[in-house]
């Protein structure tokens, strides 16, 4: 039931782009993306609801492919502040809880 994230880790130079994927074997109602820095709480980024909508703010956006039960998080022109571990949390309809993936560690170097 746990979603699978890929890649597990990625290292970029400042200004490069990254894509983080989240796949589930279950039919999803929503996907939530969080970023967590070491020793801190996960910080909410965005929600994507069933319907395939794409969302974004600043240079971070995400999509949700309902047919494939996949979501992707896009980080463009990465900044040093984007470093951290990104988690997707998935909701199966009616479950009233999020099941999180194992995380993708993103490192941005100057």
Partner 1 sequence: DTGVSQDPRHKITKRGQNVTFRCDPISEHNRLYWYRQTLGQGPEFLTYFQNEAQLEKSRLLSDRFSAERPKGSFSTLEIQRTEQGDSAMYLCASGRESAMNTEAFFGQGTRLTVV
Binding site for partner 1 (CB under 8 A): 2, 29-30, 32, 34, 40-44, 47, 49, 87, 89, 91, 95-103
In whole angstroms, the minimum distance from the beta carbon of 46 to partner 1 comes to 8
Nearer to partner 1, 48 or 108 (CB): 48
d(CA 14, CA 29): 34
Based on CB atoms, which residue is closest to partner 1, 82 or 87?
87
The pair of structure tokens assigned to 96 is 């009233």
Measured CA to CA in angstroms, residue 48 lies from 15, 40, 55, 70, 97 at distances of: 25, 24, 7, 11, 15
Output the CA torsion sign for 30, 35, 41, 43: negative
Residue 32 CB, shortest distance to partner 1, in Å, is: 7
39 or 110, CB closer to partner 1?
A: 39
Give me the helices (H) in the chain, please: none
CB of 15 to partner 1, least distance (A): 28
């Amino acid at each position: 039931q746990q979603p699978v994230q890929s890649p597990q880790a990625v290292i970029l130079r400042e200004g490069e782009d990254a894509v983080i994927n989240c796949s589930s074997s279950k039919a999803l109602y929503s996907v939530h993306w969080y970023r967590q820095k070491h020793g801190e709480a996960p910080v909410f980024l965005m929600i994507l609801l069933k319907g395939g909508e794409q969302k974004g703010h600043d240079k971070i956006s995400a999509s949700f492919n309902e047919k494939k039960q996949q979501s992707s998080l896009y980080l463009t022109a990465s900044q040093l502040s984007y470093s951290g571990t990104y988690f997707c949390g998935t909701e199966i309809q009616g479950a009233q809880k999020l099941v999180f993936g194992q995380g993708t560690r993103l490192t941005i170097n100057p």
